[in-house]
């Protein structure tokens, strides 16, 4: 099996998985990351839809594939392993790589995107869903996670 060709993923999903391969090579020292991804889809393909991959993004896919396939861990123990190893939060170098190669690709990063007031003094980026504290009187921010320029859009129930 070749996950890039045989699974019919769109280009966005392939990019997420390509970056996951890069993370497995850089952070976990894997030399066979594509083989690990193939094995992952053979074992867990029924759960690993484009929506699932898009929700997890590259870092979480890399840790899951590495733990379940390279280390032979059980998916039900993944969260505890991530906590024990300090891999639950995406490392700053991986975030910077995601910013450059995923979030900011082919986008005009100078055009502000919405950020939402999610209550209790917190704001959420509409691009990467990161949350940060709102500063009194400030309506424009740069998302600390994806680096996009944001402008506060108040949440309403109207679509």
Q: How confident is the model at residue 104 (pLDDT cuts 50, 70, 90)?
A: confident
Least confident of 9-13, 45-49, 101-105, 106-110: 106-110
Query: Domain coordinates of the chain in residue numbers?
Result: 3-103, 113-153
For the stretch 28-39, pLDDT in tens is 999 899 999 999
- CA separation for the pair 64, 71 (Å, rounded): 10
| Strand positions, DSSP E, the chain | 113-119, 122-125, 131-133, 140-142, 149-153
- CA separation for the pair 152, 146 (Å, rounded): 16
In the predicted model, is pLDDT for residue 157 greater than 60?
Answer: no
Least confident of 10-24, 85-99, 133-147: 133-147
Q: How confident is the model at residue 25 (pLDDT cuts 50, 70, 90)?
A: very high
């Amino acid at each position: 099996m070749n996950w890039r060709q045989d699974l019919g993923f769109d280009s966005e999903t392939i990019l997420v998985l390509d970056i996951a391969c890069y993370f497995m090579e850089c952070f976990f020292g894997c030399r066979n990351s594509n083989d690990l991804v193939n094995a992952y889809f053979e074992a867990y393909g029924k759960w690993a839809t484009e929506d699932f991959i898009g929700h997890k993004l590259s870092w979480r896919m890399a840790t899951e594939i590495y733990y379940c396939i390279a280390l032979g861990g059980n998916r039900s123990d993944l969260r505890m392993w991530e906590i024990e190893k300090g891999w639950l939060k995406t490392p700053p170098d991986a975030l910077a790589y995601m910013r450059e190669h995923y979030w900011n690709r082919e986008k005009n990063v100078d055009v502000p995107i919405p950020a939402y007031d999610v209550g209790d003094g917190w704001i959420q980026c509409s691009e990467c869903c990161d949350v940060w504290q709102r500063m009194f009187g400030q309506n424009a921010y740069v998302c600390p996670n994806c680096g996009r320029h944001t402008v506060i859009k108040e949440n309403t129930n109207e679509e």
